[in-house]
Amino acid sequence: MFHRQQPTRTGSRYPAIGIACLLVAAYGAFTSGPTTIRAQQPPGPAVVPKGAQPLLIAVSQVSGDVTYTRRVNNRTRVRTVTLASKLQAGDTVHMDVGARCLLLFRNAGKAAANLAPAFDAIRPIAFRPEAPATDGDGVVAAVLLRGYSEASIAMAFERNQAATIQIDMPQGVARAGVVPTAIKPRFRIRSPRTVVAVRGTEIRELEISVDRGDILSMGRTGVVAANVRSGLYRSAQSEQGTRKGTGTDRRSSRLVRAIMDLNIRSRVVLAGPHKGRIEFDQAKREPRDAQSFGKGDRLKPNGNPKFQNFINSNKPDDGTGRADSTGGGGGGGGDGTIDGDGG
Amino acid sequence: MTTRMNGPLAIAACGLLAVSLTAGGQNARRDQADARLPASVTVSRKPRAKIIDGYRAMARLARQHGRIDRQLDIDEMSFADLRSTLVREGVVDDGWGFIPMAGLKRDVLAYMAASYLDIRPGLLTSIFGMTRRYSYREMHHRGLMVQGQPRQVVSGSELLSVLTRVAAEVDRRDPDRQ
């Protein structure tokens, strides 16, 4: 008998469907990804833990081109940062080269009592029977961003009188100050290489860049801990600095590299007003005038000739900071010296 | 191709069309959102900075510091206008013939930064002018740039980092600006 041989079917019954689905999937994968801004955003708004209150983030100073992005209903909103901007956790601040932005993290309860803060204005003097508040109008921390910076505010809340602030910075320059409280606040700045946790009060400058790595300089007070995820840390005292380079670390620990690159800054010793006025800054390799005072420093008495001229003049203040010297002895400051030529 | 395959192919074509339309809408939103960010954000994402990126960033910094007219729209200027503006400021050498899309090398960036800061170390340099090679060595000595090959093309992030240090140096020289 002759039997008709049926061809065996080895592939799919509808090969075109599979090919079309692959085409659609490949095209969708290449074209329908997240936008460039959205890819840098956190997956969602920062979640405030139970029992915690979010901190108010106010913009105290801003200059240059500064914007921030915020995720609202799965859409990325871009806004220009002004003095009236109210940031919140989850926002990302983008700054142009040459821009400056000062962010104040304030306690929500304390901030509500003072709705019109005027940090740059001179407040009227009022008699208070009690001692003035030392919490600085509820300001918990301040961060000054400078130059090209990208800073994402990951966490900003207060719980049990302890503030928790975390800023993620892939690149940029920041100065930070944290108000010390009885319950230690948690203030962290994370970079792709290190985590800087402020335990004291002041960071003079933290530069995060892709070419020089992370360079940390401490201020006059405080202590800072540069740590990694393992929990180990390296403390830097005042007037010290720590650098973490961008090179590959063969010791399998970024912390060790940071310790090896410990760089102690040269301290600038300022002499008194009766000593030499020209001093040499070892860190910047240039002489500096130790007795120079800015335009706003005319009320600083020690060694300031402008203060002597101002306090001994009989002319009213015209607001320009200039006052004619009329000579005369005495005067404030306690040193009793008057330098007529401004030196 | 049999007739029974026409149906699935039509479904696939419709799906492809829908996805492309959706992606087009996302591209439009992406362009719209990116346009509102500072121009330096776009530069920072580039693995290789171009000459025109360096010129625009330097001109933007000069406008921020008030060295050129604040009313100039840097982002809309042509390359020739941008170059002539920087040549007038002394930031760019008049003899340079770079094309806009060429890679921005470290020595070129160092020359622009040193000229912007008016850094002229040494007797010969102060007399005959700065060269790109010694500009890079001087900028490395001052800690404004990292050690490396002078002819290496910088990334967008490195370009912005160097310009940020230049801005900090200008602020340090003139504290009243802060």
Q: Are A211 and B19 in contact (CB < 8 Å)? A: no
- Could you tell me if A294 lies within 8 Å of chain B, comparing CB atoms? yes
In a domain, A318, yes or no: no
Q: Which domain holds residue B126?
A: 45-177
Per-residue pLDDT at A330:
38
What pLDDT score was predicted for residue A57?
92
Sign of the Cα pseudo-torsion (A125, A126, A127, A131, in order): negative
Q: In this complex, which of B11, B12, B155 lies closest to A210 when CB atoms are compared?
A: B155
**At residue A209, does pLDDT exceed 50?**
yes
Q: Which residues are A241's β-sheet partners?
A: A217, A263
What backbone torsions phi and psi does residue A92 show, to the nearest 5 degrees?
A: -120, 125
Cβ separation A36–B34 shorter than 8 A: yes
Residue A93 covered by a domain: yes
Q: Are residues B97 and B168 in the same domain?
A: yes
Q: Is residue A10 part of a domain?
A: no
Let me know whether B109 and B31 are in one domain: no
Asked whether the predicted pLDDT for residue A292 surpasses 60, the reply is yes
DSSP E strands, A182-325:
186-190, 195-198, 202-209, 213-218, 224-227, 233-236, 240-244, 263-264, 278-281, 286-289
Retrieve residue A48's tokens.
Answer: 């405030």
Q: Do B19 and A146 touch (CB under 8 A)?
A: no
Whether B109 and B91 map to the same domain: the answer is yes
Whether the predicted pLDDT of B157 surpasses 80? yes
Average pLDDT, chain A: 67
What does the block give as tokens for B152? Answer: 């290496």
Q: Are residues B89 and B170 in the same domain?
A: yes
| Closest CA of chain A from B80, distance in Å | 23
Residue A325 lies in a domain: no
Asked whether residue A271 is domain-assigned, the answer is no
Altogether, the residues listed in chain B come to a count of 178
Which residue in the set B8, B145, B178 is minimally distant from A14, CB to CB?
Answer: B8
Residue A105 lies in a domain: yes
Contact B33 A35 (CB under 8 A): yes
pLDDT at residue B34, as a whole number:
65
Angle among Cα A179, A206, A66 to the nearest 5 degrees reads 85
Distance CA A182, CA B17 (A): 62
Phi-psi map region of A110: left, alpha, beta (phi>0 left; psi -120 to 50 alpha):
alpha
Q: Which amino acid is at B62?
A: A
Angle at which helix B106-117 crosses helix B132-141, to 10 degrees, equals 70
CA pair distance A41, A55, nearest whole angstrom: 20
Q: Which of the two residues, B82 and A321, has the higher pLDDT score?
A: B82
Chain A neighbors of B175, CB-CB under 8 A: 294
CB contact under 8 A, B60 and A16: no
Proportion of chain A in helix, strand, coil states, percent, rounded to 5: 15, 35, 50
Residues of B in contact with A16 (CB under 8 A): 5, 8-9, 12
DSSP A268-291: PPPP-TTS-SEEEETTTTEEEETT
CB B38 to CB A65 under 8 A? yes
Give the chain B residue whose CA is nearest to the CA of A14: B5
Q: What is the pLDDT of residues B112-145, one digit of tens each?
A: 999 999 887 778 877 877 889 889 999 999 888 9
**Number of CB pairs < 8 Å for A and B?**
133
The tally of CA atoms less than 13 A away on the side-chain side of residue B101 is 0
Judged against a pLDDT cut of 80, whether residue B152 lies above it is answered with yes
Amino acid at B160: L
User: Which DSSP letter does residue B166 get?
Assistant: H
CB spacing of A147 vs B11 below 8 angstroms:
no
Is pLDDT above 60 for A145?
Answer: yes
Instruction: Give me the phi and psi of B65, to 5 degrees please.
Output: -85, 0
Instruction: Using CA coordinates, name the residue in chain A closest to B170.
Output: A98
| Angle ∠(B106,B112,B113) on CA atoms, nearest 5 | 85
Residues B59 and B9 in one domain: no
| Residue B49 · residue B152 · CB < 8 Å | no
A313 touching B (Cβ < 8 Å): no
Q: Is residue A158 part of a domain?
A: yes
Tally of domains within chain A: 1
State the ipTM, two decimals: 0.76
Same domain, B32 and B54: no
* B22 and B104 fall within a common domain: no
Question: What is the average per-residue pLDDT within A313-330?
Answer: 48
B17/B72 same-domain check: no
Domain of residue A94: give its range. 52-116+137-264
Handedness of CA B24, B26, B29, B35 (dihedral sign): negative
Residue A101 lies in a domain: yes
| A76 with B11: Cβ contact below 8 A | no
pLDDT at A277: 52
Strands A162-178 and A139-159: antiparallel
The CATH number of whichever domain residue A209 belongs to comes to: 2.60.120.1440
How large a percentage of chain A has pLDDT more than 90? 10
- What's the CA gap between A191 and A149, in Å, rounded? 12
> pLDDT category, A272, cuts 50, 70, 90?
very low
CB-based contact, A20 to chain B, within 8 Å: yes
Q: Are residues B138 and B160 in the same domain?
A: yes
| B chain contacts of residue A19, beta-carbon cutoff 8 Å | 12
What's the number of domains chain B is made of? 2
- CB-CB contact of A19 with A122 (8 Å): no
Q: What is the pLDDT of residue B80?
A: 93
